């Protein structure tokens, strides 16, 4: 979404200071009054939680809407976007001053870019896959309406994830010269204050749907993966691993992995 939104901002198609309801008039109270910028920065408060430690956590219940599990005996077969509209908030303002990570934010941004472009997420994903020059297969889940689950559902090989990371090194330019992101937006992402993480990752901040320390750009996946790109040196690092604890998350472990990756990207070529 950093790539897609950046290009749309550059072309004047999205105003980040507008509220989500300006683009999605039927969105629920969980996002209606939030600005697009705050959704991009994981800076929104609502009743959605990314706590994977229990099967009844919001992010786990969303799996029924994404087609990853069957709904309960009294549950309805919602689509992912139907589920997103049920997220509620009495005040979306984040007063903690720290990242409020919510996978659902990505789904909201994805729907906004479809509305303003008139193109499907599937088409935009194909553009990015082709621009990255992915060698193997790009897998992504879809809900029962055929909407890609961009918040959680993509799988590629380590080598192809590195190819994807190189899009940020090249300022959003593909292997064939096609532009799928904005160099100016990527640079702004690194310069912005963003929203800081809690310790032990408090040297990083979340900015425009990407984690950054002001130089490197990166993002993690479920269970221990991490991807990092350093536009200054042209070096990218991908790290695949498996965390076998209850919620597939360990902030101390992740911080060590990210620090290691940052050091590698800063090595002289």
pLDDT (tens digit per residue) in 21-30: 999 999 999 9
> Can you tell me the mean pLDDT for 100-123?
97
pTM over 0.85: yes
What's the order of all strands across the beta sheet hosting 195-196? Answer: 195-196, 205-207, 210-212, 217-220, 226-230, 235-239
CA within 13 Å, CB half, 107:
30
The residue among 239, 203, 193, 202 whose CA lies nearest residue 219 is: 239
The residue among 144, 109, 131, 82 whose CA lies nearest residue 9 is: 109
CA within 13 Å, CB half, 31:
33
Question: Given this model, what pLDDT does residue 54 score?
Answer: 72
Question: Given this model, what pLDDT does residue 232 score?
Answer: 96
pLDDT at 152 over 90: no
Asked whether the bond before 200 is cis by omega within 30 degrees of 0, the reply is yes
Domains of the chain: 2-265 (3.40.710.10)
For 5, residues 6+ apart whose C-beta sits below 8 A from its C-beta are 14, 36, 40, 109, 113, 185, 208, 209
Q: How many CB atoms lie within 10 A of CB 135?
A: 10
Q: Which residues pair with 11 in a beta bridge?
A: none
> Can you tell me the mean pLDDT for 178-183?
98
pLDDT-derived band of residue 185, with 50, 70 and 90 as boundaries? very high
CA within 13 Å, CB half, 46:
27
pLDDT (tens digit per residue) in 220-260: 988 889 999 999 999 999 999 888 888 888 999 999 999 99
pLDDT-derived band of residue 40, with 50, 70 and 90 as boundaries? very high
Question: Given this model, what pLDDT does residue 70 score?
Answer: 84
> Can you tell me the mean pLDDT for 208-213?
98
Question: Given this model, what pLDDT does residue 268 score?
Answer: 66
């Amino acid at each position: 979404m950093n790539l897609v939104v950046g290009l749309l901002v550059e072309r004047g198609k999205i105003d980040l200071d507008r509220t989500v309801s300006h683009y999605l008039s039927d969105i629920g109270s969980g996002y209606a009054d939030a600005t697009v910028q705050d959704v991009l920065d994981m800076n929104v408060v609502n009743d959605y939680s990314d706590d994977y430690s229990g099967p009844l956590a919001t992010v786990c219940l969303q799996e029924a809407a994404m087609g990853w599990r069957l709904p309960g005996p009294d549950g309805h077969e919602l689509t992912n976007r139907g589920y997103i509209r049920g997220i509620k908030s009495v005040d979306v303002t984040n007063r903690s001053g720290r990242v409020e990570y919510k996978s659902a934010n990505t789904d909201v941004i994805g729907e906004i870019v479809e509305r303003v472009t008139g193109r499907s997420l599937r088409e935009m994903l194909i553009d990015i896959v082709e621009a990255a020059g992915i060698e193997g297969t790009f897998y992504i889940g879809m809900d029962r309406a055929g909407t890609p689950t961009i918040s959680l559902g993509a799988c590629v090989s380590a080598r192809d994830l590195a190819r994807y990371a190189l899009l940020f090194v090249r300022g959003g330019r593909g292997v064939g010269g096609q532009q799928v992101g904005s160099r100016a937006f990527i640079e702004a992402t690194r310069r912005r204050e963003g929203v800081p993480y809690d310790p032990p990752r408090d040297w990083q901040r979340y900015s425009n749907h990407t984690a950054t320390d002001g130089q490197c750009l990166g993002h993690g996946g479920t269970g221990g993966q991490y991807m990092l790109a350093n536009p200054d040196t042209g070096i990218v690092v991908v790290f695949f691993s498996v965390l076998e604890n209850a919620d597939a998350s360990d902030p101390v472990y992740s911080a060590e992995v990210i620090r290691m990756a940052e050091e590698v990207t800063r090595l002289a070529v």
